[in-house]
Each structure stands twice: as C-alpha cells, then as structure tokens.
C-alpha cells in the first residue's frame, strides 16, 4: 500500500502489515466525519476503567519522543484530578522536530482518528476540558473542520478547543504547552510541578502526543492482545517513522516495532552500501555510524547502541559529512533554545561554535577537549531537553565518527572541501496537503 502526499513525500505501510494509523488509503483526501463513522469510529465506550486496563496491558508507550508508558500518565492524571476536582487533556500536535512529519500527517489526513483518541483519553482521566495544541496552519484548519462537522455526542460532550502557537523546537515540550495555554510564553518551565500534577488552569493535565492518542481507537475496537500482535515485548504495536536523507524524497512509513533498519531502508530505496550512519530521533538522539544497520526500529535495540528512536525520525547520512551534519544541528539548537536557562543558552552556543570551527578546519585539540567535556557536564542542566539533545549530538559525533573528526582536525575532509553541508534545518520535511 503506497501513495503520495504531494509529489515529494511517500506514505506507505509495511507490506503485509495492516495499517492501524495511516488508514486504508494513505495520502488520499482527508478522512471526513461520515467516512470515519462508517469505518467504526467514535464507538461508545462501555467503561473507562476497562479501556485503561487494556491500555496498561497493551504496553502502549508515548510516541512523542520519551516513550513513557501511557497508562502510568493516565492513572496519575485521573487520580490527581479526582483530588483536585477535575482534569485537563492536551493533544500535543506541535511537531518540533524538523525531520519528522508524522503528527502533521495525522492531523491533516486523519483528524477524526486524533479526535477519537482524544475523546477516549478524556474519558479515562475524567477530563472536563480538552485542547488540540498545534502550530501548523494546515493541521489547525483540518482539526477545526473536523470539530465543526462532528456531532457533539461523539466527543461525549467534553469541550474541545483548538490552540494555535508559533512553531519552535521547544514549543512541543509539555510544560511549554501548558504554559502557553495558560496565557504565558511558549517556553518550558522548571519541574516540579509537572503537568500531571498541575498544568492547565492549575489542574492535573495529561499532555499526550497525537500519534499516541491515535492508537486508542484501535485498542478500544480490538483489545490489547491484538495491539501486541505486532511489535516486540517491550515496544509493542506499530510506529510511524519519517525517513529522510540519502538524496531521496522523504517517506512516512507505518511499520511494526522490531523491524530491522535494513528492511526499512530497503523499503525507502536506500542501499546499505551507501550508508555512513544516521541522525536518530529527529535531532534529539544524536548520530549513529554504520552500526545503525545492526539495529531494529524499537527503543531497546537503539538504546543498546547508545542512541534512541525518539519521535521515530531517521535521517540517513550517505554523501553528507557527519561533522558538517552535527555542526548544522548544533547551530540549530543554538538558535532554537528558549534563552531562559544560562547553561543552555551559553552551552549550545559554545558547542555549536566548536562544531562549526571543526567543520571549517580551524578547530584545535583544546577545542575538542572542551566539546567532549561539555557533552558530559552540561547534560541534564536545562529546564527542557534542548541542552540534552545538543550534548547527545556532540557526544555521539566524537564517539561514533572519530576518523571524520580527526580528518577535520587536520583539515583533510575531501567531502567538505567542495563546500561543507550547511543547512538551517537539516533534513527538514516540508509537508504539503494534497489537493
């Protein structure tokens, strides 16, 4: 099953893998209310507790990057909400990773699947208000249209509000989302409290990625055993993966967790002989060398290699120089940090400066020593994960590509001699809603 979302983006499910998220016709016109109802959407929920038990037994983990078990967050918000007199839920569609397209695709193409998942989560936590939090104009337009055409009873009378913000790498961080909805700046806050303790309006708030929520209708219809029939024991179910790089148009694929990376690359039309490595989890998890070819698309396999799946974005490095790629990503983090934590504001700038000097052949061994030290000492010191992401990129460059680093230190990189890779948003996916 394969189609095109605009001329440049391939959307497909893994052959032989029944699609749970992309639907029967990925990339066709957006699914409307009548079509979604016809295919079993917005089914009445017998008991929220039974669904929560199914979510717990399914092992569904968040698809926003942290992979935290959804059932634990739901129980915490539900229990805290009972004590606080109410709870809030936020469908987080602010896809900050430039190399990812999955959330925008779901919001644009299957808005009712997202709203149905939001409804089910709202019932599980007994929410009295729900938000869909986005920056992408086309996603906002799609959700607004879906909200206008659905019947009130299909959302169990939970008020749903569309909340628009300006895009940014940190805009999707959960405390930035609750802070924005509360009328503040779109910037992360110190923790605690976390949103599950006190979020929107001071109430316990479940902030959940839209792909995570989009799995709930399948669980309601088919149960936890069917959900676990694909994937691995610790990473069950299917996952949406955005593949970029390798000189090819981007692709969005729904694949079972545990699929070998080599098979995913074959689906995308990339020869393993070309692969130097990959940028994992969007930008967050850093770089892997050719050991990525030994990995599978699941959290445990990539963690064992010192990396991570994150939001499911994989940028394949073939002809680009890993040093130049890392320099561009660190420069991006320098520009995108919230500017409110000195360790992040100064740390990302310092690491970006060294990486840029290394790319341009003007770094010293002392510079590399400082970069290595910062990649360790700065970890965990920011209010959000931006500084951690930057340290991941710096540390993984030094560890996984020592030969490339040494060549740059000696000013001998043939790839960069013809003009280094310099991109403001490396491997960005530009999504266009199909006509």
Domain boundary assignment for the chain: 20-227, 322-417
Alpha helices in 270-410 (DSSP H): 299-304, 322-336, 342-359, 365-377, 386-400, 402-409
- In the block, tokens 């109430």 appear at 203
Beta carbons of 337 and 345 less than 8 angstroms apart: yes
pLDDT at 65: 85
The strand order across the sheet containing 205-209 reads 160-164, 127-134, 87-92, 205-209
Contact 167, 176 (CB under 8 A): no
Q: Residue 319, exposed/middle/buried by CB under 10 A (0-12, 13-18, 19+)?
A: exposed
- The series of mean pLDDT values per 10 residues for the chain, 435 residues long, is 54 92 79 93 94 98 91 97 95 95 96 96 96 96 94 75 95 95 94 94 97 98 97 96 95 97 96 96 95 96 94 96 97 92 93 96 95 95 90 97 95 85 92 46
Nearest Cα to Cα of residue 217 among 115, 145, 70: 115
Give me the pLDDT at residue 432, please: 54
Contacts of 328 (CB under 8 A, 6+ apart): 421, 422, 423, 424, 426
- Give the pLDDT confidence score for residue 4 in this predicted structure: 40
Q: Which CATH architecture has domain 20-227?
A: 3-Layer(aba) Sandwich (3.40)
Q: What is the topology classification, in CATH, of domain 322-417? A: de novo design (two linked rop proteins) (1.20.1440)
191-213 CB burial, b ≥16 within 10 A, e <16 = eeebbbbbbbeebbbbbbbbbbb
The answer to whether 255 and 241 have CB atoms below 8 angstroms apart is: yes
**Confidence (pLDDT) at 155:** 63
Query: Taking Cα atoms as reference points, which of 396, 350, 388, 346 lies closest to residue 370?
Result: 350
pLDDT score for 153: 64
Q: How many Cα atoms are found within 13 Å in the side-chain-facing hemisphere of 334?
A: 19
């Amino acid at each position: 099953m394969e189609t095109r979302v605009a001329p440049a983006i391939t959307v497909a499910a893994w052959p032989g893998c029944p699609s749970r998220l992309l639907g029967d016709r990925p990339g066709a016109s957006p699914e409307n209310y009548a079509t979604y109802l016809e295919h079993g959407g917005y089914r009445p929920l017998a008991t929220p507790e039974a669904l929560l038990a199914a979510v717990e037994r399914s092992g569904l983990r968040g698809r926003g990057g942290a992979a935290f078990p959804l059932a634990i967050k739901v129980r915490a918000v539900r229990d805290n909400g009972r004590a606080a007199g109410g709870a809030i839920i936020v469908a987080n569609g602010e896809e900050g990773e430039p190399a990812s397209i999955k959330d925008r695709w779901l919001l644009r193409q299957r808005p009712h699947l997202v709203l149905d998942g939001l409804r089910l989560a709202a019932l599980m936590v007994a929410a009295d208000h729900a938000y869909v939090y986005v920056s992408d104009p086309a996603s906002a337009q799609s959700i607004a249209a879906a909200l206008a055409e659905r019947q009130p009873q299909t959302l169990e009378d939970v008020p749903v509000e569309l909340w628009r913000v300006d895009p940014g790498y940190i805009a999707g961080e959960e405390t930035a989302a609750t802070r924005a909805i509360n009328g503040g700046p779109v910037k992360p806050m110190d923790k605690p409290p976390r949103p599950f303790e006190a979020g929107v309006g001071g109430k316990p708030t479940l902030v959940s990625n839209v792909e995570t929520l989009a799995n709930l209708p399948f669980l309601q219809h088919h149960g936890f055993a069917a959900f676990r029939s694909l994937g691995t024991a610790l990473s069950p179910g299917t996952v949406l993966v955005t593949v970029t790089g390798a000189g090819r148009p981007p692709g969005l694929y729904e694949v079972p967790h545990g699929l070998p990376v080599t098979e995913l690359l074959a689906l995308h039309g990339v020869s393993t002989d070309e692969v130097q490595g990959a940028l994992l989890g969007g930008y967050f998890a850093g770089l892997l060398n050719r050991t990525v070819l030994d990995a599978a698309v699941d959290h445990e396999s990539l963690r064992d290699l010192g990396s991570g799946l994150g939001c499911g974005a994989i940028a394949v490095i073939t002809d680009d120089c890993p040093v130049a790629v890392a320099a561009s990503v660190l420069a991006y983090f320098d520009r995108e940090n919230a500017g409110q934590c000195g360790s992040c504001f100064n740390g990302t700038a310092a690491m970006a400066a060294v990486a840029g000097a290394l790319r341009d052949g003007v770094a010293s061994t002392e510079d590399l020593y400082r970069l290595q030290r910062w990649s360790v000492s700065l970890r965990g010191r920011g209010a959000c994960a931006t500084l951690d992401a930057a340290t991941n990129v710096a540390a993984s460059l030094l560890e996984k590509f020592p030969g490339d680093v040494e060549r740059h230190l000696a000013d001998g990189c043939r790839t960069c001699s013809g003009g280094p890779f310099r991109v403001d948003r490396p491997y960005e996916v530009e999504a266009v809603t199909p006509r």
